Structures are given as structure tokens and as C-alpha cells.
Amino acid sequence: MTPANTISPKVTTAHQAKLAYVYIRQSSLSQVTRHGESTELQYRLAERAGALGWPLERIKVIDDDLGKSAASSEQRWGFQQLLAEIGLAQVGLVLSWDASRLARNNSDWHHLIELCSMFGVLIADGEQLYDPLQYHDRLLLGLSGMMSEAELHQLKLRLQAGERQKAERGELRLPLPAGLERQRDGRVILNPDEEIQARIRLVFAKFDELGSARAVMRYLVQHDLRLPTRPLQGAAPHPIVWQIASDGQVLEVLHNPAYAGAYTYGRSTRDPSRRRAGHPASGIHQRPLDHWPVCLQDHYPAYISWAQYLRNQQRLRDNQNRYQDTHRGVPRQGQALLQGIVLCGRCGARMRLRYSGPHGQYPAYTCRDAHHRHHLPACQQTRAIALDEAVQEQLLAALAPDKVALAMAALKELDQETETLKRHWQLRLERGRYDAERAERQFHNVEPENRLVARQLESQWEQKLRAVEELEHAYQRWLDQQSFALSDDDRQTILAVGSDLPTVWYASTTTAADRKHLVRLVIDSVIIDAKRERGYLWYQINWQTGATSEHRLRRQVMRLAEHPYREALQHRLQELSDEQKMDAEIAAMLNAEGFLTARAQPFTGQNVWRLCQLWQLASSKEAGKYPNPPRWRDGTYSISGAADRIGVTHGTVYKWVRQGRIQGQQPTKGAPWKIPLTDSEVLSLRDYAKRVRRVKRSIEEAS
């Protein structure tokens, strides 16, 4: 094709038939405002496009990405528009001051070059004109992109190294949470606002008492106590905003090491593998505490000690319901009392919960750690109800000597709780009245003739007054619901209820989570082993004081082989059977002597008969309820056994017994018969039965 001009042989009429796009970008808004010459220089690239043969009306300027980094094409709508126009074959020339303006990473840069080569688009910078279809130009463009990315890398290294060095001295100014304030001379102090200080301290105190961030959030919402936050939006200084408490805000206070007086740097980092498309802020994860690059303790004034901060972090990790390592999980409303604190006595793993039955009313502690990790059989499983009741009795017995002290502590805590809430209400009222007085002063300071401003200030004053009035009414309603001055009768009632721990424990107002929380205050863990002793559950209580106590619990078993007193039961049943006792009588005697079935239930006559059948013992059954065996253990026959041996009916045997032809014994009336038969007697009775049948047959034939 013949060149359209003598400026550059690379520019053809095909290129000039399309549009020329000038791409303009600055990395930050501060560069846009402070380095206007650089921006103006990029706008003048339109003149270079005109010098290359493009008329003014066919030159388009893309400046949508001013103030955006070229490290990625995400959120750079101008660059994405340029790529789209190239793909639509609408572009003949792309101009940018240099490669770094278009892209700072090889992925975006080579994508642009590939599109330009496919659709025949020229690329120009402040000095040269390149044709991506030509090998040498493409090589130069690739080198330019590599240098642009390397330049960004070096800039980041220098900036981050300087920032890191300054942070190691504690001189890098990092954003402060709402509870801290930086003065003009750079010193950091506790926020001088008393309400902010009181609210932050309340969060830590309540977490220490309630044990979970969600419980603290519910407490704050219940009492309409908002949390102070400092949103890092816009230019500094960032004002304090009071917001309704949420889980995230409470966790932000608990996780922030600045409240423990620590200056930290690099607590979080970006992981490219975790980034999600369209979410530029994704991919951020928190580093473990021992991997923080900078952690200077006692650098700020503190609300809590560093040791308390570490305990809080450990407690937050324990509250995660993962049942791994030391994660016990937060107490929940489930039925199982020992949820999260039961350890397997065989492998040491934390046991999980499994619910069965209708509506999950039968919880069980199960250890499947070996199965999950190594595909081995599960260690053990035990029902939770019996174990919970046993540990509950141990707990109440352990707390019984201190019941009066516990009641006094509860009474004192009630007084402190009321005083704390009263103090927070007073601070809220003080803030509201100050805001109203400030609005009043602003209104009085304006010139009366300036009604444009006076009307607005008067409206704001009225709003503040109404807010104070509503706050005073809410405070009065709260006062009416409280009893700050407890009478002597009230205190005696509280002491009486607090002294009776079982009444408080079983009260309908005491939730399952409350009981679990109390258990964890006294008991650290419970180790169980259901296979150590046959028919028993062995368990060890590890108390918070460091003491341990071992116990065993009779458990329900599904097989007679696991019965704890199997040998003693068999021996006793043999003795009673030899005494020719009735089954029901034997069952009553076993129950009176403390024997139980395998499932820990009282014996019945049917249980006794089944055991006699299993162990081949003579059974004096209740008439008509159970079939007798053909032959008793002593060698004698029952009625049915004798009938089968001789070959006659049961009625014939009964008749021969009454006639005295067969000698049978019956220990008591209603007891089964025992008939001794020898082989000769059996043969004789068979012959007699045959003769009787022949006589009957002859009579029938004769008639």
C-alpha cells in the first residue's frame, strides 16, 4: 500500500481511516493535583496525533483513569474501553507518553500488543512510532513493558523499605482507633472524651465476663449502647462516628493491639491466589502474631495489658467451633452440657457432638478423629445425658461450700452492673446536652438579619433539643425498670436464692448456654474412656484449680457380654434356679439385690427366662407365658419334651402323670413338671401307647 504521507512510512491510509486514541493516566489524585505539568504534557499528545496525519475530529482522548494505578487493569475503565475499541477494529493509533502510562504489568501490556497486532493498530509514545506487526518494533515494545514493570517493582521496594525502617522506630504515622487520639506534637493519648473511654473499657470488661464477641454485641444492643468508630474515609482528620454495635465492630476493638499499647506494622498482607475477580480489596489475610514485622509494646497508652490482649486472642480462637487442638467453641444453646470440653481418653482428641432421635433429643459424644485423619475405626462414643448428669452433680457438690460467697458475689456484681449502666446513661445525657448548647450558641452568634443561615441553625437547635428530650425520657424509663437501692428484704431474698444453687441451676430462666458458661468457669476439661472397664464409663474431671478427680459411671450396654456383673449375675441366677424359684420371683429378688439388665433396667420374668435359655438353666416360668425347654439342665424332661420323646400328645403325658404311670415332680403349683425318664421306660411307654392305639382301632372297626 502506498504511504499516505512522508512523516512515517508505517502510517497508512488504513490506519488513518480509523480513530486515534490518546490514553492519559496519573497514578494518584495527588499527582493529578500537584503535578499538573505532567498531565498537560500527556494531553498535548493529541497534537502529535495530528502531526501523524489524523484530523482533530478523529482524535479521541481517554482520561477516565486519572488517579488510578496501572499495576492492574481492574477498576481502570478507561483502559478496558481502549481494549474494547481495539477489538471492534475502530482504532488505528494508540498514543501514550510511555509504556508505564498504559500498563505496569506484563500481562496487560502484552495483551494490548497482541490485540494491536491482530487488528493492525500502531502504538506511539512521546518519541517513537511502533508497528506491532514488525518483529523489531514488537521486541522494543516488549522490552519497554518489562522495564515499566521493573521500574514499578523498584519504586515499591524503595518506598516499602523506607516505610518499614520508619515503622521500626515507631515514627510512621498509622491510623489510630477511636479510643486513641494523636495530638499536634505527634504524641498519642487516650481519647479525652470520657464516654468513648468508658465504652471501650466496657467492651473489654464484658468480653472478660461473657466470653464471646457476639454476647458483647447483644449486650450493647440490648442496652442501646453504641460504639465509637473512626471511618478512614476522606481527608484527615477523621471524625468519630457513633454506630449501632455489630459483631465486626466488637471484634475490631478486641483484635486491635493498639488498645493494648502496642505499635504494630504489617499485620495483614495480600495473597494473589486469594483474590476474586471484580473485588480489588480481596485477597487480604491476617498474619499470625509471631509473623508481624513490627510490634513495639508499651508504645501507646493502653486500655488493657499485653498479657490480657493475648488471653483475649486465645479466647477468640477457642470460640471457633472447630473441635481442633484447643478450640472448644463458644457455649451454645444445645442440650449437651459438656459441649467442647470433652476429650477422648484413648487418643486425646477433642470429641464432637452427634444428635440422634426425634428432634435431636439424644446427644452423644463421639471421637472420630482417627477416622478422619487416618481412615481408622472411630475410638469411642457415649451418650451425653447420663454423663452430663453425673458431672453436674459433681459440680454442684464442689460449689456447695462456697454458695454463700457466690451469692454475695452475685449481689455485688448486680450493684456494679447497675452503676456501670447508670454511668453510661449519664455520659450520653451529658453529650446530648452539650450538642444542644453548642447548637444554641451557634444560633445566637449569627447575625439576626442573616435569615438564610439563622433558619438553618434554628432548625438544628430544635433537633438537638428534641434529641435531648427523647434521651431524658428513655433514661427515666430505664430508671423505673431498675432498683438501685435494694431493700433488706430484697437482699435477703437474693441471698436465699443464690445460696440454693440447685434451684438457680434448674430454673427455667437459666439457659443451656448459662449452664455451660458456669461449667467452664469451674471445669477445664473432662476426659472419658468407655472401653477401660466393662460396663462402666471412666471419666476424669480436670478442674480449673489444677486438681483432678476420677469417677466411673454405670452405662447402658447393648450386649450381655459387656455387662459389668455378668459372672456374678450368672452365678446368682444358677442358685435361684436350683432352688426352683418362679421367673417373676427370681426377677424380684435380683432387683432387690441391686442387679440390673445390660441396659441398666430392672429385671422382669421375661428377662430371667431369656437368660435361663441362654445359659441353659432350669426355668420355673409363669404358666402359659414362655415355652418350656424339651429337657431341663438336670436331665429331666418337661411335658413337651416327654411327649416328643415317647411320641404321644401332651394330654397323654398329663393323663399318665395323674394315673401314676409316669413319675413326675412339680416344685410348686403352676410350676413346670420335671419328668425323669430312662431309655427302658421310654421303650415301655412307647409299646404301651402302641397297644392302646391297636385296641382303639379294633373297637372302631368292630363298631
Place of cell 483474590: 275
What CA–CA distance (Å, rounded) separates 661 from 108? 113
Place of cell 452539650: 434
Q: How far apart are the first and last CA of the chain?
A: 138
The total of other beta-carbon atoms located within 10 Å of residue 409's CB is 12
- 241: helix, coil or strand? strand
Backbone CA torsion sign across 499, 503, 506, 507? negative
* Cell reading at 501: 444453687
Closest to 89 measured CA to CA, from 21, 136, 8, 140? 21
**Cβ neighbourhood burial of 124 (10 Å; 0-12, 13-18, 19+):** buried
Backbone CA torsion sign across 573, 578, 582, 588? negative
* Cell reading at 678: 430312662
* Cell reading at 60: 479521541
State what percent of residues in the chain have pLDDT above 90.
Answer: 18
Q: What is the pLDDT of residue 681?
A: 85
Contacts of 113 (CB under 8 A, 6+ apart): 123, 132, 138, 141, 142, 145
Q: What is the pLDDT of residue 231?
A: 86
Distances (CA, A) of 567 to 534, 556, 620: 12, 17, 21
For residue 65, the surrounding DSSP H or E stretch is strand 59-66
Half-sphere exposure of 593 (CA within 13 A, CB side): 15
Place of cell 481494549: 83
Q: What share of the chain is helix, strand, coil (3-state, %, to 5)?
A: 50, 15, 35
Low-confidence ranges of the chain (pLDDT < 70): 1-7, 234-235, 278-281, 321-327, 370-372, 374, 401-415, 482-500, 557-562, 579-580, 616, 618-627, 633, 667-671, 703
- For 627, which DSSP code? P
* Cell reading at 386: 447420663
One-letter amino acid for residue 671 of the chain: A
Q: What is the pLDDT of residue 497?
A: 57
Q: What is the pLDDT of residue 624?
A: 46
> What DSSP string describes 440-478?
HHHHHHS-TT-HHHHHHHHHHHHHHHHHHHHHHHHHHHH
- Is 100 catalytic? The answer is no
**From start to end of 266-390, where are the E strands?**
268-270, 284-286, 294-296, 342-344, 352-356, 362-367, 380-383
Choose, from 8, 27, 144, 620, the residue flagged as catalytic: 27
What CA–CA distance (Å, rounded) separates 445 from 661? 132
- Dihedral, CA of residue 485, residue 487, residue 492 and residue 493, to nearest 10: -80
Please, are residues 191 and 197 in contact by the beta-carbon 8 Å criterion? yes
Closest to 58 measured CA to CA, from 27, 97, 13, 2? 13
pLDDT, tens digit, for every residue of 428-466? 888 888 888 888 888 888 887 788 888 888 888 899 899
Contacts of 30 (CB under 8 A, 6+ apart): none
Q: What is the pLDDT of residue 680?
A: 86
Q: What pTM value is reported for the model?
A: 0.63
Distances (CA, A) of 503 to 322, 368, 404, 497, 523: 33, 37, 14, 7, 20
**Cβ neighbourhood burial of 98 (10 Å; 0-12, 13-18, 19+):** middle
